[in-house]
Amino acid sequence: MTECDVLIVGGGPAGATLARALHQHGLHVHVLDKATWPRDKVCAGWVTPAVVSELELDLDDYRRDNLLQPVHGFRVSLMGGREIEASYSGDAISYGIRRCEFDHYLLRRSGATVHEGEAVKSVERDGAAYVVNGEYRCRLLVGAGGHFCPVARHVFAARPGSTEVAVRAQEIEFAMSPEQARACPVQADVPELFFCTDLKGYGWVVRKGDYLNIGLGREDNHRLSEHVQAFCDFLREAGKIPAELPGRFQGHAYLLYPHAQRELVRDGALLIGDAAGLAYPQSGEGIRPAIESALIAAEVIQACNGDYTADALAAYARRLQQHLGTRGQTTFTDRLPEWLVRFLGQRLLGMRWFIRHMVMNRWFLHRQTPPLRLTGATGGD
Ligand SMILES: Cc1cc2nc3c(=O)[nH]c(=O)nc-3n(C[C@H](O)[C@H](O)[C@H](O)COP(=O)(O)OP(=O)(O)OC[C@H]3O[C@@H](n4cnc5c(N)ncnc54)[C@H](O)[C@@H]3O)c2cc1C
């Protein structure tokens, strides 16, 4: 039996960030992941400077062996409508990364003991401890296994795909041939976003060097593949993507923070990242809240001093709520009829001011929220 203080299920950005923070504070941390690494993750692969800062990423070190695409603007439109470019001078406003590289980099530098290629098959309570797969015994079990996290399902009774309203998304990423790269009009430092005309989601084309990432996500479960197909037809017609795409689109899902209802803590267990359902509502950005949840969890876990009861861990749920807001609150637009929201939204997406200040600065870049700075305060606030 392998004994540890903390067992983290999932070595994505959330799990790797928590593992690193706890390892640095001397806790005995193990990470269990079903994938063999490096592994890919269905994702557009853009991160904001806040993520770089919160992760204390040394960009020169990172870009030595990994693709790092600085972004200086976004081109935004309602699908088929006028394209408006919001460009920014000075430092990069975002970075394009490849998840197979980014996640591997974070997990390697965490310093934790990683068990890869090991899916969670069983979770049992044994006194105050949890035993996973009959092999790993821990005093605190952390679910960082993404939307379908086994800890969320076994310990928190989450039911992905049943009553939860999730964003479903499909994506493909591939290296363009030299001819395709020459012909591709999408600029590497200006990703393109295309809102669906019913405003239930958006598609994107993100170029990172000579890699092209194409995808579309919607917060409804109806005929996603047809929406993706129509989006690709539209992009081909506009000459933005090659006529033939190598391979198939991959699908995944995630919960938007205001609409998610997953519990965050129980005796001896907590959830972080997508397992907790934390993605930003308008953009679907999930890496930043995943990392922030891990940093907050790390501070609370240290303050717990080995007392991992739900009462002690509740500080994590409180602090996450202080940081991300209260779930389930209705907004002004929730009270308007759907047709009116659609009508207004379609007009606003044709306005340069709205694209820059609302869509980009607030929704996608979250410039109103500075990077998380932890105070080192105890968990009991
Ligand atoms: C199409 C798409 C595009 C996106 N684009 C962006 C974007 O551009 N920028 C952004 O910020 N966010 C984006 N997101 C959201 C982002 O990908 C997630 O929010 C982020 O990956 C969450 O990180 P995580 O560490 O919580 O989970 P994950 O990255 O999902 O990591 C979970 C880990 O758990 C492991 N695991 C799962 N099940 C088990 C099991 N049974 N046993 C053991 N291990 C297990 C997996 O192998 C994986 O390594 C996108 C999401 C989708 C679907």
CATH (domain of 173):
3.30.9
- 165: tokens are 């309203």
Cis bond upstream, residue 281 (ω within 30):
no
Of 151-155, 177-181, 366-370, the range with the lowest mean pLDDT is: 366-370
Tokens 């490849």: give the residue: 98
Question: pLDDT band at 375, cuts 50/70/90?
Answer: low
Q: What mean pLDDT do residues 211-222 have? A: 92
What's the pLDDT at 189? 96
Higher-confidence residue of 221 and 101: namely 101
Q: Do 110 and 13 share a domain, yes or no?
A: yes
- Residue 334: how many other CB atoms lie within 10 Å: 9
Q: What distance lies between CA 108 and its chain's CA centroid?
A: 19
What's the pLDDT at 320? 96
Handedness of CA 172, 225, 276, 7 (dihedral sign): negative
Q: Do 148 and 102 share a domain, yes or no?
A: yes
Q: Which run of H or of E encompasses 343?
A: helix 338-348
381 has a pLDDT exceeding 50 = no
Q: Name 214's bridge partners.
A: 172, 205
Q: Is residue 380 assigned to a domain?
A: no
Question: pLDDT band at 380, cuts 50/70/90?
Answer: very low
Handedness of CA 270, 301, 293, 113 (dihedral sign): negative
Q: Is residue 288 assigned to a domain?
A: yes
**Burial annotation 11-22 (CB, 10 A radius, 16+ → b, else e):** bbbbbbbbbbbb
Structure ipTM over 0.85, yes or no: yes
Q: Do 29 and 104 share a domain, yes or no?
A: yes
Dist. CA 268–CA 313, nearest whole Å: 8
Q: Do 265 and 319 share a domain, yes or no?
A: yes
- Digit-coded pLDDT (tens) for 47-93: 999 999 999 999 999 999 999 999 999 999 999 899 999 999 999 99
Q: What mean pLDDT do residues 202-220 have? A: 95
Question: pLDDT band at 156, cuts 50/70/90?
Answer: very high
Q: Name 9's bridge partners.
A: 32, 143
Q: Is residue 286 assigned to a domain?
A: yes
* Phi, psi (rounded to 5 degrees) for 177: -70, 165
Task: Give yes or no for a contact between 142 and 151, defined as CB atoms under 8 angstroms apart.
Answer: yes
Q: Name which residue sits closest to atom 36 of ligand 1, judged by CA.
A: 145
Question: pLDDT band at 376, cuts 50/70/90?
Answer: low
Q: Is the CB of 18 inside a 6 Å radius of any atom of ligand 1? A: no
Contacts of 332 (CB under 8 A, 6+ apart): none
What's the pLDDT at 38? 95
Q: What mean pLDDT do residues 214-219 have? A: 95
CA of 280 relative to ligand 1 center, distance in Å = 14
379 has a pLDDT exceeding 60 = no
The closest of 6, 81, 2 to 269, measured between CA atoms, is 6
- Domains identified in the chain, total number: 2
Nearest ligand 1 atom to the CA of 278 is 19
Q: Do 106 and 240 share a domain, yes or no?
A: no
What's the pLDDT at 328? 77
Q: What mean pLDDT do residues 303-328 have? A: 94
Q: Name which residue sits closest to atom 16 of ligand 1, judged by CA.
A: 286
What's the pLDDT at 165? 82
Q: Is the CB of 299 inside a 6 Å radius of any atom of ligand 1? A: no
Q: Do 241 and 345 share a domain, yes or no?
A: yes
Of 127-131, 160-164, 176-180, the range with the lowest mean pLDDT is: 160-164
Q: Is the CB of 201 inside a 6 Å radius of any atom of ligand 1? A: no
Please state the three-class secondary structure of 13-53 as a single string. Answer: HHHHHHHHHHHHCCCCEEEECCCCCCCCCCCCCEECHHHHH
- 9: tokens are 């299920």
Q: What mean pLDDT do residues 264-292 have? A: 96
Q: What mean pLDDT do residues 99-125 have? A: 97
CATH no. for residue 114? 3.50.50.60
- Domain with 305 in it: 2-45+98-163+256-324
